[in-house]
Amino acid sequence: MKIAALTHLFKIYCVGSILASGLFATTNYELVEPEITEKDLEHWSFQAVTDIQPPSVERVDQVRNPVDQFILARLEQEGLGLMPEANRNTLIRRLSFDLRGLPPSVEEVEKFMSDTTTSAYENLVDRFLASSDFGERWAQHWLDVARFAESDGFEHDAVRSEAWRYRDWVIQALNADLPYDEFLRLQIAGDELYPESDDAAIATGFLVAGADMPDINLMEERRHTVLNEMTTTTGLTFMGLTMGCAQCHDHKSDPISQADFYRLRAMFADMTIPKKSKQLSPRFIPLKDDIPQDHLMIRGDFRYKGPVVDAAFLRVVNQDGESVPKVPSESSKLGRRSALVDWLTDPNHPLTSRVAVNRFWQQVFGKPIVASPNDFGVLGYRPSHPELLDWLAAELVRQDWSIKELLRILFNSATYRQASLPVNEKWLKAMEVDPDNLLLSRMNRKRLEGEAIRDSMLAVSGKLNRKAGGPGVHPPLPSEVAITLLKKQWQVSEDVNDHYRRSIYLFVRRNLRFPMFDVFDRPDANASCGRRNISTTAPQSLTLLNSEFSIETARQLAGSIINESKGGSEEWVDRCYRRVLSRSPSADELNTGIRFIEKQTKALRSENRNVELLGTPFGAPSVDPYMGTALTDFCLAIFNLNEMIYLD
């Protein structure tokens, strides 16, 4: 009884203290909002995109397009120039992975190597951009930013059975070269703009792609959390601003007030929140009536509503004072989101096009111009090439917001075609003057993501299933992972062919990342990821060397090589290099490979290994099992080369 009495008194004391402080009072709350100052507006990203002309350079012979002029002008200030063009094997491999996420086929390499026309490289860029593989590759970059997953997250992590439709929409939109401004507009307001279009409604899956807790006790808390997350992600994705910092208080570094946050949140206030234990719809569903007023939440607490706020654009990037049109309260279509996308896609908006081209540049060159792609605010990084960033932002608009046209410029530049490895004495000077390659004095080497590594292994082994679209599939998990799961948490797809689908079609569960993707730094989809971490860890090597997937894929590759070969180990080694690394082996590499297969065959035979326990190639029953296993081991070794998982 004494403990209960003390607990009761303590609660009374706490409540009394809160009320006495006035911190959570909903009456007589005076909203004091800091003004936007001239100093605030001086920050580079809040200023209008400037009309920049490409600078003059001394080495005009190194210039292929305006991108090179901006890069070369900075290099020449440091006494540097662009590196020579990489060899053709490197270029086609680099281009194929960057545009398609897959290695080039042996036939594609041979055709490119024998093409002596001056437009051979440009034609290759066009072919890869036109491939359906382009959308499957570049959609993953966007889905990272959009925090896409096919489950709710949190404790129960329930499956969202229709979430995959948004993923497929992104792929199709990119393949169709949907202009970026329309790409943005549909994801925020597709249902308002085109009420009769199902595709437009599916695009709004972006807004509801975040984590959610359907079984939360208080629906008002759920609404508050969902709308806050939606607002935060919209700010990060399209404006590169950390809006979420202003949920509870005025932003500590950027000129974004708490009222700014809730005014932007009011754009989405007409969202339908399902009943308890019911999942979010896979698309934005607006309320038809009883649309609630939106309030500033005192200290971000949903229980303490402050003043009513009207939907409005962010003040610091709304210097013309544009207002959201007022719509009669009885209307079932508020039009707020339509107004928001009109404002965001205005060519004069200082952030939208800059943020977009920075993301594109990052995926092409391995590093963004602004090193914090989700933060263009005061605490974010300043651009390494501000004039180039503005030129690209303006060029995107000049190209009618065409993503493919902008990428065509980047991929055709001499800057992209540079060698990344030492080619002459100038490379050593570039390493000394520009050690972190901030000036792009050479091409960045890029580590492939886990998805591209897996897809590459399946492609070269002949097992990749090119079926597109549909619900996420569930390949088998390593046994050590599978035994830790709850019942039905990962139900392996019945159709074995689905186990070899492209990685973008694998089921995305928030609470369980696919092991191969996990070790290679895939984000968890609980928040927008503008730039993946790139780590180097022991589990990465162990996965590539010891996992059941790696061994089985090596056996498949070995079997395929044997079946298409007429000769012995010399031809096997040559074919393995050309399939996996897109080049022929050097004389030393060829001899080393032959010796490895011979020694490994001899060692396996001398140990009198049980044939059933050997890693014999799949689909090649007539080959000597010991020699075939030696080839499997060689294929596995090639999968583990740096050259396999890095782009030069």
Are 72 and 418 contacting, i.e. CB atoms less than 8 angstroms apart? no
Q: Is pLDDT above 50 for 14?
A: no
Are 243 and 210 contacting, i.e. CB atoms less than 8 angstroms apart? no
Q: Is pLDDT above 60 for 329?
A: no
Pairing of strands 446-447, 646-647: antiparallel
Q: Is pLDDT above 50 for 545?
A: yes
pLDDT at 460: 98
Q: Which residue type occupies 205?
A: G
pLDDT at 609: 79
Q: Confidence class of residue 333 from pLDDT cuts 50, 70 and 90?
A: low
Considering only 313-317, 322-326, 521-525, which range has the smallest mean pLDDT?
322-326
Q: Which two tokens stand for residue 218?
A: 């208080």
Read off the pLDDT of residues 562-620 as tens digits, 9 standing for 90 and up.
Answer: 999 988 999 999 999 999 999 999 999 999 999 999 999 999 999 887 777 788 889 88
Q: Which two tokens stand for residue 595?
A: 């010796």
Q: How far apart are CA 358 and CA 166, in angstroms?
A: 23
pLDDT at 328: 52
Chain mean pLDDT for the chain: 92
Residues 6+ apart with CB under 8 A from 508: 148, 149, 150, 151, 472, 525
pLDDT at 297: 95
Which ranges in 204-308 belong to alpha helices (H)? 219-234, 258-265
Residues 6+ apart with CB under 8 A from 495: none
Q: Which residue has the tokens 């060698």?
A: 419
Distances from the Cα of 544 to the Cα of 354, 520, 638, angstroms: 38, 11, 10
Which ranges in 319-402 belong to alpha helices (H)? 336-344, 352-365, 386-398
Q: How far apart are CA 354 and CA 356, in angstroms?
A: 5
Residues 6+ apart with CB under 8 A from 313: 263, 264, 322, 323, 324, 340, 343
pLDDT higher at 633 or 30: 633
Considering only 14-18, 80-84, 383-387, 511-515, which range has the smallest mean pLDDT?
14-18
Read off the pLDDT of residues 184-230 as tens digits, 9 standing for 90 and up.
Answer: 999 999 999 999 999 999 999 999 999 999 999 999 999 999 999 99
Q: How far apart are CA 459 and CA 104, in angstroms?
A: 9
pLDDT at 26: 56
pLDDT at 347: 95
Q: Is pLDDT above 60 for 5?
A: no
Q: Confidence class of residue 19 from pLDDT cuts 50, 70 and 90?
A: very low
Which ranges in 465-584 belong to alpha helices (H)? 479-482, 515-519, 538-546, 548-564, 569-580
pLDDT at 486: 84
Q: Which residue, 162, 164, 169, is CA-closest to 199?
A: 169
Q: Is pLDDT above 60 for 331?
A: no
Q: Which residue has the tokens 């970026």?
A: 180
Q: Is pLDDT above 60 for 6?
A: no
Q: Read off the DSSP letter of residue 49.
A: P
Q: Read off the DSSP letter of residue 494.
A: S
Q: Read off the DSSP letter of residue 238.
A: I
Sign of CA dihedral 543, 549, 553, 555: positive
Residues paired with 520 in a beta bridge = none
Q: Confidence class of residue 27 from pLDDT cuts 50, 70 and 90?
A: low
